[in-house]
Copies of this chain bind each other. A is one copy, B any other.
Amino acid sequence: MRSSKQQDRLVFVPLGGSGEIGMNLNLYGFGPEGREQWIIVDLGVSFGDLTTPGVEVIMPDPQFIAERAKDLLGIILTHAHEDHMGALAAFWPDLRAPVYATPFTMYLVRDRLSEAGLLDEVELHEVPLGGHISLGPFEMDMVTLTHSIPEPNALLIRTPAGLILHTGDWKIDPDPLIGQATDSKTLMAAGDEGILAMVCDSTNVFTEGEAGSESGVRDELIKLVGEQKGRVAVAAFASNVARLQTAVEAAEHNDRTVCLVGRSMHRMMGAARHVGLFTNAKPFIDEEEAAALPKNEVLYLCTGSQGEPRAALSRIASGSHRFVKLGNGDSVLFSSRVIPGNEKSIFALQNALASAGVNVIGEKERHIHVSGHPCRDELRQMYAWARPKIAIPVHGERRHLIEHAKLAQELQVPHGFAPRNGDMIMLSEAGAELVDEVPAGRIYRDGSVLTPADSGALRERKKMAFGGVISLALAVDGAGRIHSGPEANLFGMAEPKEGFEKTIDALCDAAQKAVENLPKRSRGDEIATENAVRQAVRRLAPRIWGKRPHVDVIVLPL
């Protein structure tokens, strides 16, 4: 649009969460093209795995919105899961906008900001459940849904261009154990009013039926704990507060006392108590007290369900936990899903437990886990309530978003758009239109350094993980005469049949010959010498090892 008097427009831009699992970051903009006012909905992280060695946390690149920070009106967090709020502390200094969340979420936000030394700087607005947020052209209402954590909120976003329903994470649990059931009245009323677009969770779009109620897990867990005669440990995500509630009920019902194991269990329990949960629960005991109880009177609630090596459960399995010991006749109940990519470490953990005589029971054997995200029947129900004109699937891999868009089409939603991160989508009565593509990369927390995912450091490390390293050094004078070296070190290289010593000799010989054979004009030239040595060694290595190591050469000038 290049008219002299520009029209206001409403745009949606996912910077994270569209096309991958985790690290949700959504922008809504309203105003004339290029001069929009913005809000951020959620600011999450994802976690590294075996495909990203040395990278523990992955974040969406906020560059696009950071450059527009002066037009950023606020940051709204739908709920307290890491993939929706974990990047707030890291990026807030570049954004400097007020933060809005309901009490449970805000408790954990404060915790994080405090750790980062930012608590005094950030303007925090605690919004009650069902509360209202007013930011420039955006009039927003929090709508209570059900999920696996307290206070999951959808956001109804009223703009002059129309009404958006941003679902956040949800399922439909008629009996959620914690919190209220889904506020379907408000959703239906919004549907009656007319929803322009629904931006919606796609996690379980490939699963028919419903995710299932937490109360079903409670019934089964009560029964299963009752069957155990030894110690029982329930492994769950600390952030799945609904499950913690379920486990506590299963303990109490079977006259077992709860003992929390793992730092994040204590942290999450603090937040839960802050909003009035667990206040009627019997007192928990600490690990030392629990060790003194008869085996059938304790229930450990543990972190480490994914086989994380430093988490409580791995230490228990290896026998290195100071107070918590499990052995013959004891049981570990994995009340959690297997996150793709973690299979190997989970199986290793379960094998270690089984080797120690521990009964290992998972969600495959017994109904002790339900997902917190909507399956197809729940999606159908949500579309029936909301009746949007445009369906925008988010929160899923590419395949999920495409399937979700297909489902919406089947449900007679007139328009659909499966976005990619960075797509700027204009929303109007005419439908969803891709109007721009903005930068939307990933940021790695690599050790303590924040670095763009495409900076190359991880790629270099993967190269070494595959091929190892040969380092060579030699000291050369201006005439190209070698005064010392070449010497070579190997790291991460298998020992060839000839042995390391002969192999290193062969590499150094090749390096020396390469220097001696340099053309006259290049002799004594550091860079030419380095290149010649590198090339010679690179040529030889595959013949010795059948692979290509990284070859590092330092030529010291004399």
Q: Which residues of A contact B (CB under 8 A)?
A: 19, 49-51, 53-54, 206, 340-341, 343-344, 347, 350-352, 354-355, 360, 364-365, 397-399, 402-403, 444, 446-449, 451, 455, 457-458, 460-469, 471-475, 483-485, 487, 489, 491-497, 545-547, 550, 552, 554, 556-558
Contacts and interface: CB of A to CB of B under 8 A. Distances in A.
Contact of A53 (B354, B398, B465, B556): B465
Contacts of A347: 340, 397, 399
A462 B460 contact: no
Contacts of A471: 469, 471, 552, 554
Given A484-B556, A546-B449, A365 B206 contact: yes
Given A455-B494, A493-B457, A448 B546 contact: yes
A474 B473 CA distance: 8
Contacts of A398: 351-352, 354-355
B51 A354 contact: no
Nearest to A51: B344
A492 B461 contact: yes
Nearest to A476: B484
Given A206-B364, A350-B399, A399-B360, A467 B54 contact: yes
Contacts of A460: 468, 491-492
A472 to B, nearest CB: 8
A494 B451 contact: yes
A495 B351 contact: no
Contacts of A489: 552, 554
B495 A455 contact: yes
Contact of A54 (B351, B455, B466, B552): B466
Given A341-B344, A464-B492, 17 more contacts: A51-B344, A54-B467, A343-B343, A350-B399, A354-B402, A355-B398, A447-B545, A457-B495, A460-B491, A464-B464, A472-B554, A473-B473, A475-B484, A484-B556, A484-B557, A485-B556, A556-B556
Contacts of A547: 54, 446-448
The complex is assembled from copies of this chain, and their number is: 2
Contacts of A463: 492
A465 B462 contact: yes
A303 B258 CA distance: 50
Nearest to A345: B51
A355 to B, nearest CB: 5
A541 to B, nearest CB: 9
A455 B492 CA distance: 10
Contacts of A447: 467, 494, 545-547
21 contacts: A49-B344, A50-B50, A51-B344, A206-B365, A340-B343, A354-B403, A355-B398, A355-B402, A446-B547, A447-B467, A455-B494, A457-B468, A457-B493, A461-B464, A461-B468, A472-B554, A474-B556, A475-B484, A484-B558, A487-B556, A556-B556
Contacts of A51: 50, 344
B484 A54 contact: no
B473 A465 contact: no
Interface centre among A347, A489, A546 (most CB of B within 10 A): A347
